[in-house]
Amino acid sequence: MLKRHARAACTALAAAGLLLAATGAVATAAPAESADAARPQKSASATLRTADAPPELLTAMQRDLGLTPTQAEARLAHEAEAGATAARLQARLGAAFAGAWLDGADAGTLTVATTRAADTAAIRAAGARAKLVSRSLADLDTAQAALDRAATAGTPVRYVDPRGNTLVVEETRPGAAAGLLAATGTDPALVTVVRTAEAPRPLYDLRGGDAYYMNGSGRCSVGFPITKGTVNGFATAGHCGRAGTITSGFNQVAQGSFQASVFPGNDMAWVAANANWSSTPYVKGSGGANVQVTGSVLQPVGASVCRSGSTTGWHCGTIQQHNTSVTYPEGTISGVTRTTVCAEPGDSGGSYISGSQAQGVTSGGSGNCSSGGTTFFQPLNPILSAYGLTLKVTGTDPGPGPGDPEPGGTWKAGSVYAAGATVTYGGASYRCIQGHQAQTGWEPPVVPALWQRL
């Protein structure tokens, strides 16, 4: 546990993308009405505005991922399109879905795995590579959940590896994984054991990435600025403070207090700021430049992701696994995302971002930014949903134009939708295919990257 009291730093960064969890079979989509068909349909990359990625993010991707400028720009566009394609295929394959991932320097190759041979033609027709495997994502997730309930510090990290179609268990001492499998009755054939010398720990220490102080001593970083009604504030890591913890800003001026916090179990919290502080739609970038946040679409395995930290600055890597479980000395947290981004003490609570899409807040990790490491982030959308928060964003469209009918229905800007959620809009029903917080300009009929008409 990288816990720094007396000025220990935490950081921020976030990005956007795909929620890769089993959703079950869906009904065959009905033909779109002529009115919807006449609407201009945005591509996923246009929806997520990948062409507007800030220069400092592209520069960090080039440095940390070994990319050319052209590859960095192409990668963001490919990731957005692949995320939408994978989400649609996941809904179509239902219980046979076994995961999806990206490969290639520019993320130009999407692979989708299935347990059903009959699905491979549909996967290829969608432009992805098909891989036939023996275990579904849902089966491996079920096995992981059983291990999570009995895990100890001897088996600190557990996750599903879709590439290997296996459940990975990291152990810090010989025999720890075997003991866990025996205690839970888990079939060893499902599991790949990896020895590790490092144990994850929380990275202790209203713009994402700026420092804040808890009770005048410990330091963490703002994750993402938010609003809750008329209140300004920010999302951050739960291990940084408990409800009632008083905060001051990067300038040591009184700032606000923690309103709610969960750790362990999850690693989420939010702070309400006083009237002297206003939320902005920015994350602190390289050299202090502002990086705009325009949404919260979670990206798929293999996608690039960058982190802003008050200790180590801007660093990039890739998403390795979603829905990872980590056992810290304080207890187990579940549902975090594992990444190759480095971090050091003082980088907790800060923002992970992919393109302009917020991903989550720094939870913990191992290693450092000299020799490399592994970090985990708490996805942002569950924080927004749990506490009824609205992410501060820029670049939203004005909504329906003059003469457009009143849409009606259950869809609502500001709501957080998980993959598989259904809404009505303009008399039609839609299913969410990528988790995100809705905003004006992302209405279901005009963003097929996020919504599938039923």
Residue 402 and residue 212: Cα distance in Å, rounded?
Answer: 44
Phi-psi region of 452 (alpha: psi -120 to 50; beta: other; left: phi over 0): beta
Catalytic residues: 239, 267, 348
Query: How many Cα atoms within 13 Å fall on the side-chain side of residue 370?
Result: 1
